[in-house]
Chain A
Amino acid sequence: MDFATAIATTVAAVLTLCIFSFLYKDNPFYKFTEHLVVGVSAGYWVSILYVNVAIPNIWQKLLAGKWWYLIPAFLGVLMWTRIVKRWAWISRYPLAFYLGIATGVAIPLEMQTKVLEQIFGTVQSFVALHNSQTDFWAGINTVVVVIGIITSLVYFFFSKEHKGATGGIAKVGIWTLMIGFGASFGYTVMARISLLIERVQFLIDDWLLKLFS
């Protein structure tokens, strides 16, 4: 391992250990690293937006004679009026423009992707075909999915009290939801464990063993 790599790996390893020290209790090493990552992350996004948005979308457009790109830049500058309390109300204009565009785009788009497409995906023939032959279990699974979705939606419907038949249907819905949450929980645990294994491997294989070999 050359000297530059050794320094870089040691910095990364020390910072990793500082974060792990939180498992014992909150301490100055953890606090130092926590504050460092807040600053570095903010600086990272400043750089990324400068290179990927400010340069191509403002500077290069203006150089190309597209002066109308000054309008969103001017609206953006108006956002800064929030700093001065007396003028803070002016920042509502760019905010209103931004929200208006975002909500206007979201209404048909969310309806299409999150609602209609999901319903289209659900409403399928119960007779499933696999290699031109009827697949019995695939058909059963389709029925289970339909029942699961309907009962889960009934659980989310709070305008009617969950009693009697509605309560029974809602109960099946919450069971379905719990299985879904359990699957997500299992996946999240495995992802975090993988990250933990990777960090420990980094400390042992990439840092300790290479540094002292």
Chain B
Amino acid sequence: MKRQFPLIIIFSCGLFMVVQYFVPHEKSEFFYEFIALDWPPIIGVFALMLGVISLTRVSITRIRRKTEAWRYSIVTLIGLFVMSAFGVIGHHYPPLSTAFDWSFNNIMIPISATMFSLLAFFIASAAYRAFRARSVLASILLVAAIIVMMRFFPLGPLTSVVGKTSDWILNVPNLAAKRAILIGVGLGIVSTAMKVVLGIERSYLGKD
């Protein structure tokens, strides 16, 4: 009951959706839209709420036990509940939706964009370490990277040559590498999905 029934559910649902894909009938398409497109997001909403409950519990525990840096958990909780309130209540009471937009534009976007921009420094440090490796492979990687980066620079008479070389790298060897990776990823996803459907992969069930 605890382990066998979920395996039966996953096998039945998986097999049904695979068979459905090969049946070109309107009923089959109806089931696809109904079960695969409508239902999972609904379950996802409740799963997100589980995440919110978990975040709240962890934060409250840290505050109650006064663990290291517990004061920041208060900031997390305020951000979570104020933003949720602005969004949820703002949907029914429009004046509050302005506060939601304000928080999104002046808190969330600047912080997220700055965090991503910080990566420029860490990437530069990673490039320096790769340079120090002095291997053929690291050199190939960095030469390709530098040519691709230089296509955005004004280089006088060299601009056209660098631009064409960069385009060639992006459209030919880069395409070959990306396609090979994509084929590998595709085969990996299919084999893992088959392991899950057939009950070979059961780690998602947990221990007991």
Contacts and interface: CB of A to CB of B under 8 A. Distances in A.
Interface of A: 8-9, 11-13, 15-16, 19-20, 22-23, 31-51, 53-55, 57-58, 69, 71-73, 75-77, 79-80, 82-83, 88-89, 92-111, 113-115, 118-119, 121-122, 141, 144-149, 152-153, 156, 173-190, 192-193, 195-196, 198-199, 202
Given A58-B45, A114-B186, A182-B148, 12 more contacts: A15-B110, A23-B118, A47-B87, A83-B53, A94-B43, A100-B13, A144-B172, A152-B180, A177-B181, A180-B178, A196-B120, A199-B110
Contacts of B120: 189, 192-193, 195-196
A113 B5 CA distance: 32
Interface of B: 2-3, 5-7, 9-18, 20-22, 32, 35-36, 38-53, 55, 69, 72-73, 75-88, 90-91, 100, 102-121, 123-124, 127, 137, 140-149, 152, 168-187, 189-190, 193-194, 196-197, 204-206, 208
Contacts of A175: 137, 140
B106 A53 contact: no
A118 to B, nearest CB: 5
A43 B87 contact: yes
Nearest to A143: B172
B111 A33 contact: yes
A195 B113 contact: yes
B10 A44 contact: no
A202 B44 CA distance: 36
Contacts of B40: 72, 98, 101-102
Contact of A183 (B14, B170, B187): B170
Which among A40, A93, A121, A189 has the highest number of chain B CB atoms within 10 Å?
A40
Contact of B117 (A37, A104, A109, A192): A192
A80 B43 CA distance: 11
